[in-house]
Structure 1
Amino acid sequence: MRAAAARSNPEAAPFVLEAMAEDVLDRLSFIRFEPQRALVIGDWASVLAPALAQAGAIVIQREPGDFDEEAPLADGPFDLIVSLQVLDTVNDLPGALIHARHALSPGGLLMASFLGVGSLPALRGAMMAADGDRPAARIHPQIDTRAGAALLQRAGFSRQVADSNIIRASYRSLRHLVRDLRWQGLTSMLRSRAPSITRAGLKRAEAAFLSSADDQGRVTEIFEIVTLTGWRD
């Protein structure tokens, strides 16, 4: 599993996951929501679950690989369900949201964060350059805020909110970016593997990536974190 592999690497710096977890905590503090029972999925950096437990909540944790969008969530009901870097990788997102709503107690809250469509423009450009006139699917489909809000409404949530924020990180090479994505479990989750990039294609990708480098030879990559928030009446 990608999260387990990342967690086992001592050099991994899960800044995207940490940003998601800290943002969830900020939102809960702002609305003064104090859950008694919480389900946390995907918090392999151990930021969110310990903070909720310290605040007095009973917290059940699950790995991303334990989440089955085709089956009801066990051990409910929950006052709070939080999903980090998970829902954008499931096959049946509407079904997953419906199961999450059913697992909430009345007045319960769902918060789900993942990378949205504005993420990784430098990497996308590099992959397009690598593939030339035969582009391959190398990044799994991603969701924007408009689609996210519609999905929440379709799943029966009330007071649906979908918003996003951006974090930036700079890299001195395409190789360092790809390594960072692997360490953080942010690589593509497509079941069908794209064709391998040729040596010539890799050179084109590296050149395209560095074409937007700053004076210090570093390229700034964008990570757009989309957060879906919905309540169960």
Structure 2
Amino acid sequence: MYQRDRAAWLMRPNDSLVDAVAENLLDRLEVGKDLNKTIETSFIVGDEEFLPVKESSVDLIISSLGLHWTNDLPGAMIQSRLALKPDGLFLAAILGGETLRELRIACTVAQMEREGGISPRLSPLAQVRDAGNLLTRAGFNLPGVDVDEYTVRYDSALELIEHLRSMGETNALLQRRNILKRETALATAAVYESMFAAEDGTIPATFQVIFMTGWKEHHSQQKAKSRGSATISFKDIQKQFSEGS
């Protein structure tokens, strides 16, 4: 199991850039709250692994591109399920394993060439096949998974790397190598551009987003039929489709 550097994302007062961004966002939300005074609203800065939410107290939980930073992703999802009321909905979007595949390839080639070995420069991410298992393991009913890929174009690989640093989306593993040598960074940019650059000189960066939905158990939800209770076979269904065509 990978252990991430909690200091890179944990929201503690006056302790990180993340906290400053969160506090700034809360200030904006507080201003916008006055636009609709008919809905009681409150905002909390918290830790995904220790949700400051009472059990069975909310109808909906939405997580937008944040859960991939948790050390214990199944545990965070279990806490989300516990916080939901019966028939409550969990919606989450996380970055998938194909995110920045071009940069991963370029980094690997450059490090092998310049340093004789590799050290991850980006955090590990969940694969699409893992998403359904995560929902089931967390105890959600009617799990659903979808995936989209987005391509963002940059003028150079160095611009992309700088953007990722500004976003805080580089490697947060405790076992990471903290320093990226200048010659390795330049080699990465050169490999990236030689392998993936378009005719106009721009380079693509792939971002894979995995969408997950799950419901907290409720008696009104659909349930799978017991094994052996089927009244029609797949052969009959295939025959009907064949006759229809």
TM-score scaled by length of structure 1? 0.72
Q: CA RMSD in A?
A: 3.2
Change (3 A) 1:125 1:62: farther
Larger Rg: 2
Cα offset for 1:155? 0.9
Change (3 A) 1:191 1:202: same
Instruction: Give the secondary structure class of the aligned counterpart of 1:146.
Output: helix
Instruction: Give the secondary structure class of the aligned counterpart of 1:192.
Output: coil
The 5-angstrom pairing of residues 57-206 of structure 1 reads 58-63=40-45, 66-69=46-49, 71-75=50-54, 77-132=57-112, 133-206=116-189
**Contact 2:77 2:135 (C-alpha < 8 Å) held by counterparts:** yes
Is 1:231 aligned to 2:210, yes or no?
A: no
Change (3 A) 1:141 1:104: same
Cα offset for 1:129? 2.2
Cα offset for 1:6? 7.6
The CA distance in 2 between the partners of 1:74 and 1:102, in whole Å, is 9
Cα offset for 1:140? 1.6
TM-score scaled by length of structure 2? 0.69
The 5-angstrom pairing of residues 9-48 of structure 1 reads none
Instruction: Give the secondary structure class of the aligned counterpart of 1:67.
Output: coil
**Contact 1:126 1:206 (C-alpha < 8 Å) held by counterparts:** yes
The CA distance in 2 between the partners of 1:167 and 1:150, in whole Å, is 24
The CA distance in 1 between the partners of 2:97 and 2:39, in whole Å, is 33
**Contact 2:120 2:171 (C-alpha < 8 Å) held by counterparts:** no
- Which stretch shifts more, 182-191 or 82-91? 182-191
1:216 to 200, 203, 222: 200
Instruction: Give the secondary structure class of the aligned counterpart of 1:95.
Output: helix
Identity of aligned residues (%): 28
More strand by share: 1
Cα offset for 1:80? 0.6
Cα offset for 1:61? 3.8
- Which stretch shifts more, 180-189 or 80-89? 180-189
Cα offset for 1:58? 4.6
Aligned to 1:36: none
Cα offset for 1:109? 0.7
Change (3 A) 1:200 1:186: closer
How many residue pairs match? The answer is: 196
Gaps of 5+ in 1: 10-40
Amino acid at match of 2:53: A
